[in-house]
Amino acid sequence: MSTNFWKKQQQRLTEGKIDRRHFVMSLVATGLAAPTVLSLADKAEAAAPNRGGLFRMGIAHGSTTDTLDSATSENHFTLINGYTFGNHLTEVNNDGQLIPELAENYESSDAQKWIFNLRQGVEFHNGKTMTSEDVIASFNHHMGDSSTSAAKGLLTAVKSVTADGKYRVIFELESSNADFPFIVSDYHISIRPAGDMASGIGTGGYILQSFEPGVKSVLKRNPNYWKEGRAHFDEVELISIIDPTARQTALMNGDIDAMDRVDLKTINLFKRNPNVSILETTGTAHYTFPMRLNVDPFGNYDLRMALKHSIKRQELVDKILLGYGAVGNDHPISTANRYHNSDLPQREFDADKAAHHYKKSGHSGKIQLSASDAAFAGAVDAAQLIANSASEAGMEIEVIREPRDGYWSNVWNNDAKGWCACYWGGRPTEDWMFSAAYTNDTEWNDTAWKGTDSSQKFNSLVKEARAELDDTKRRELYYECQRLINDDGGSIVPLFNSYVSANSKAIATDEQVAANWDSDGAKCVERWWFS
C-alpha cells in the first residue's frame, strides 16, 4: 500500500466522505492484515475533527467603516468574516492548490471562454437555492463603470457573463487568461443572492447573527452547509482587538481561543506558555510603503529612487520581523511565486546613491511618512527606522503616527496622504497580484502609478502575459514587469513577512495549514476544530 493512498483514505474518513467500514475494506483490499488496518482506522478516527463549541478569535483589524459587502472588504477582519459566511466559485486549498468550491468543475479550450458548472442544491442562508442567476448578479456587482468594488480591476477583461441553464455560467474574456479560475477565488467575489449583496447572506458554513463594525461579528453553524468535513464549531465570535498586547492577554487569559499577528517582540513569552501554540507560515505576504505619484513630491522619479536606496532592509527584517521573514526588492512577487525574477539585483542601502538622486530631485524640506500599527505590527517603528537611515543620505523624514481606527479609509490609498505604511497578503499568481494593486484600472492602485512611460509599458505587458500560453515567454514578460515596478514604481517593498499567529492548544488544525493568507488562508473558522 502506498503512503499516498493511506493518507488519501485517512483524509476521506476524517472529512466524513467515507465511514469506518469503507475505510477498513479499502485497506484490506490492498493486502494489509486486519490488525494493521484496524490500527490505522483507530489512528484516522483519532484525527477526525470534533464538532461543537464556541470559537472566539481576536483579530488585529476591524474598523467602524467596515461593511458586509465583500466589494469593500479591505482588512483581515472583513476577510475572515466574509469567508466564514460566504463561498466562491473556487478556493485555494490548504496545500496552495486551486480547487472548485461552488463550482463543481470548470473548463476551457482556449483560456478565453471559461465554463463553470455549478453545484446543485446549494442553499443560501435565507433558504433560496443558488443558481446561475445569483452567480451572474454577484459578478456584475464588481463590474462596470459604476462599480466601486476593489475587485473591479480583476474583472476588466471579462466581456460577458451569461447563463446556460440554471447551473452553468459562461465567462467570455477579451483575451485568453490561463489564471482566470484563480481570479474568481478572490475574497471580494463572494457569491450572494441576486439583489442582496450587502446583508451578509451567503452559502457558507456559518450564518451571521449580528455584526458591529469595528467591534464584533457573531455567527452560528449552518445546519444545511453543503461542504462535507468543514465548519465544526457550533458558534463563532470574531472580535476586533487591534492592540497586540490586548490580543495576547486575551489569549493567555482564555478569553479567546486564537489570534492573528503575534507581536514578535513578545513571542518568546508566548512560547513559554504551555497552553499556547505558535503557528508560523510563509508565502507571499509583504509589507510596503506606497508613495502616491499624484501627490507631491512623489511624482518625482529621482525622489522615489532616493528613498528606495535609503532603506536598510535587513535591519527591518531583524528588528521588525525578528527574523520571521525576508528582504524585499521593491516589487510584490516573492520567491514562493512561480515567476519570481531571481535575476533582478537586490537593492541595498546606499547612502551615496540616495544622496545623488535626492540632490537630482531638487526637493528640500521634510518628507512626511504616515504610519500606524493598524497597517502591521511594528509599522511605526519601521517608519522611524526608515527615517533614521534616510538621514544618513541627507533626507529628513517626518513620521506621522496615524490613528488605528479608519486607517485604511483615511490614510491608505487616500490622496490626502502621499506616503504611508501598508501590508499585502500577496496573491497566488503574478497576474492576480498585479491586477489587484498595480494596473491602472484597479481601485487599489495605492501608488497611483499610471501616467509614466514605464507604467504604460507595464500595463501592456501584464495584458500580454495574461494571454500568453508559452511558459518561457510568459516568464520573460513577468520578469520585465517586476523590473519596471522595481525601477519606476511608487511602492517601496522592503519586507516579506511570515504569518505568525497563536492559538490555544485546545485548537486542532489539518496537518497542512494554508499560507496564502494569515490564519490558514483566512479560513480558520471553517477548517479548525476543538481537539
Q: Where residue 157 sits, what CATH number does that domain have? A: 3.90.76.10
pLDDT at 1 over 50: no
Exposed, middle or buried, 253 (CB in 10 Å: 0-12/13-18/19+)? Answer: exposed
Comparing C-alpha atoms, which of 129, 111, 269, 84 is closest to residue 181? 111
**Is residue 479 included in any domain, yes or no?**
yes
Give the end of a domain, one of 138, 164, 197: 197
Same domain, 407 and 451: yes
**Is residue 61 included in any domain, yes or no?**
no
**Rounded-to-integer distance, Cα 346 and Cα 41, Å:** 51
Q: Where residue 216 sits, what CATH number does that domain have? A: 3.40.190.10
Mean pLDDT of 230-256: 96
Report residue 190: phi and psi, to 5°.
Answer: -75, 140
**Rounded-to-integer distance, Cα 256 and Cα 56, Å:** 5
**Is residue 54 included in any domain, yes or no?**
no
Query: Are the C-beta atoms of residues 197 and 139 closer than 8 Å to each other?
Result: no
Q: What is the Rg, in whole angstroms, of the alpha carbon atoms belonging to the chain? A: 24
Q: How many domains does the chain have?
A: 4
**Rounded-to-integer distance, Cα 477 and Cα 462, Å:** 8
Comparing C-alpha atoms, which of 416, 412, 421 is closest to residue 294? 416
Same domain, 459 and 483: yes
Same domain, 421 and 447: yes
Helical H segments across 15-62, by residue range: 20-28, 34-46
Instruction: Report pLDDT for 30.
Output: 67
User: Starting at the edge strand that comes first in sequence, how are the strands of the sheet with 491-497 ordered?
Assistant: 325-327, 491-497, 286-290, 422-424
**Is residue 76 included in any domain, yes or no?**
no
Long-range CB pairs of 240-246, under 8 A, 24+ apart, other chains included? 240/59, 240/61, 240/62, 240/63, 240/77, 240/214, 240/215, 240/216, 241/58, 241/59, 241/60, 242/60, 242/61, 242/62, 242/373, 242/374, 242/404, 242/405, 244/60, 244/373, 244/377, 246/58
Instruction: Report pLDDT for 422.
Output: 97
Strand partners for 123: 129
Same domain, 191 and 223: no
pLDDT at 15 over 70: no
Give the end of a domain, one of 178, 197, 216: 197
**Is residue 82 included in any domain, yes or no?**
no
Same domain, 493 and 507: no
**Is residue 114 included in any domain, yes or no?**
yes
Query: Are the C-beta atoms of residues 185 and 91 closer than 8 Å to each other?
Result: yes
**Is residue 51 included in any domain, yes or no?**
no
Report residue 480: phi and psi, to 5°.
Answer: -65, -35
What confidence tens digit (pLDDT) does each residue in 133-168 have?
Answer: 999 999 999 999 999 999 998 898 899 999 999 999
Confidence of residue 377 (pLDDT cuts 50, 70, 90): confident
Instruction: Report pLDDT for 426.
Output: 86
What confidence tens digit (pLDDT) does each residue in 471-510 have?
Answer: 899 999 999 999 999 999 999 999 999 999 999 999 999 9
Range of the domain at 162: 87-197
Confidence of residue 249 (pLDDT cuts 50, 70, 90): very high
Confidence of residue 265 (pLDDT cuts 50, 70, 90): confident
**Rounded-to-integer distance, Cα 137 and Cα 493, Å:** 36
Same domain, 458 and 523: no
* Residue that is written with C-alpha cell 505619484 in the block: 293
Amino acid in position 66? D
Same domain, 448 and 504: no
Same domain, 440 and 350: yes
